[in-house]
Chain A
Amino acid sequence: MKVEALEYGDRKVYAVGAFNRGVAGWIQRLPTVWVEGEVTELRRQLAWQSVFFTLKDPAEGACLGVSMPRGQFDALRLDLLDGERVHVYGRPELWEARGDFRLRALSIERFGLGEHLAALERLKRKLAAEGLFDPARKRPLPLLPRRIGLVTGNDAAAKQDVLTTIVARFPPARVVVAETYVQGPRAAGAIVAVLQELAGLPELDVVVLARGGGSFEDLLAFSEERLVRAVAECPVPVVSAVGHEQDTPLCDLAADARASTPTAAGRLVVPDVVELIARLDRARAGIARGVHRRVEHHGLRLSHAHGRLRRAPALLLERRRAGLEHAAARLRALSPQGTLDRGYAIVRSGDRVVREAGRLAPGETVDVRVASGSFGARVQETRP
């Protein structure tokens, strides 16, 4: 079809229909491709020739309109539901009447197990490269959470297991239960919304994400990128208890702690009150013992110092006495006492020792020293 422009002087102007036809012509030359996304807003009416739905990129949120002739769509017998992941094989096209760009589907395939596994592995590598699963990002769980958020299915045994365990271990625990879809195409979005809502609650210190076991497909929501990111970005620590031990949905890797069962998750988020009290008692006993030991130690040091204080003067006296006795012994060794003891006496006149009787005159007084004491005497006669 020819596309003609009107001329306004040297300006070329296209009518809308002509413009759309022109662009549509270009777009038609694009190759047929496979496009992956989630089905949303599926509209199928008997009066319509075509079935319409929007293909949504779950990671980026980008949307693409898809149309498929109703007969072809029905022949596929896919029974697609909103939120299901599909591969659409088609050709891009512009609907000229509306200027709407869309993908004209030639075939639609539901995302198979193989595709899911490959996509999961790709996402896992991408998020790991971003550091989302880094052990350094993991936060410690609070010892005594003021409030606990529990995200779970509405009638899940998992919910009951978590609650029973929490209440048995720590009766005063406060748990905010947020029931939501835990499988199916709407689950991931719903869980993300609930997580954000819980994180905004005052005093909420930890969130438990609990879901019992299920098939691989049942647990897929817990590996969706937006959910994994929401877990990693949650402002409070998240405990993931999804599936059984052998399942590792990606949210397990992004969570701050992983519990193999809902019961294990309950044990992780609250302490056992009995054990806690026992620990406190032990700590108190330890403090008392410690203080007692300190007092005893200081008491011993004090009594030791006191003993030395007591002995010090006596010791000093003993030393002085020993020194004195030593000096006295030396004094005695030189003294005439031994001679005096044998009966000799020393006679002194003034301060001179009398050695010659002729030096004395009768009537003169002398001083006589004997072994014990001395006396004064008067000379009666001298016999030189």
Chain B
Amino acid sequence: MSEELRFEEAQRELESIVERLERGEATLEESIGLWERGEDLYRLCLSRLDAAQGRIEELVRRADAAKPEK
């Protein structure tokens, strides 16, 4: 799985996989591959979100520390 993939691309791909699976057009072999790919994409997106959340929290903490005394 490419780590270069951006969150939005990963999410779009995940959604298109879900749509293909829901339409029931894929063969069993394909659908298992798609499912595995989907799960991988889900984990990638989740880790990106967690990382973003961590960064935001860190920035807020730093901003609060830099705020002048009222």
Give the B interface residue count (CB, 8 A). Answer: 24
The docked-state distance in angstroms from the alpha carbon of A336 to that of B53 is 31
Write the A66-105 contact mask toward B (1 if CB under 8 angstroms, else 0): 0000000000000000000000000000000000000000
Contact B17 A331 (CB under 8 A): yes
The docked-state distance in angstroms from the alpha carbon of A314 to that of B55 is 11
Give the total number of A-B pairs whose CB atoms are below 8 A apart: 59
Write the B3-18 contact mask toward A (1 if CB under 8 angstroms, else 0): 0000100010011011
Asked whether A330 and B22 contact (CB < 8 A) given A317-B49, A324-B45, A369-B32, the answer is yes
Instruction: Name the residue on A nearest B43 (C-beta).
Output: A328
The docked-state distance in angstroms from the alpha carbon of A366 to that of B18 is 27
The docked-state distance in angstroms from the alpha carbon of A328 to that of B42 is 7
Contact B11 A323 (CB under 8 A): yes
B14 CB contact (under 8 Å) in A321, A331, A346: A331
Chain A, 299-344, CB within 8 A of any chain B CB: 310, 313-314, 317, 320-321, 323-324, 327-328, 330-331, 334-336
Q: Give the chain B neighbours of A330 by CB distance below 8 A.
A: 18, 22
A353 CB contact (under 8 Å) in B15, B22, B32, B38: B32
Asked whether A313 and B32 contact (CB < 8 A) given A327-B14, A331-B21, A331-B39, the answer is no
Q: Give the chain B neighbours of A313 by CB distance below 8 A.
A: 52, 56
Contact A334 B22 (CB under 8 A): yes
Is A2 close to B, CB under 8 A?
Answer: no
Contact B21 A327 (CB under 8 A): no
Instruction: Name the residue on B nearest A351 (C-beta).
Output: B29
Q: Give the chain A neighbours of B53 by CB distance below 8 A.
A: 314, 317
The docked-state distance in angstroms from the alpha carbon of A311 to that of B37 is 33
Chain B residues in contact with chain A, CB under 8 A?
7, 11, 14-15, 17-18, 21-22, 28-29, 31-33, 35, 38-39, 42, 45-46, 49, 52-53, 56, 60
A sample of 16 inter-chain contacts (CB < 8 A) reads A320-B49, A321-B49, A323-B11, A324-B11, A324-B14, A328-B14, A328-B42, A330-B22, A331-B14, A331-B17, A331-B38, A334-B31, A348-B29, A351-B33, A352-B29, A353-B28
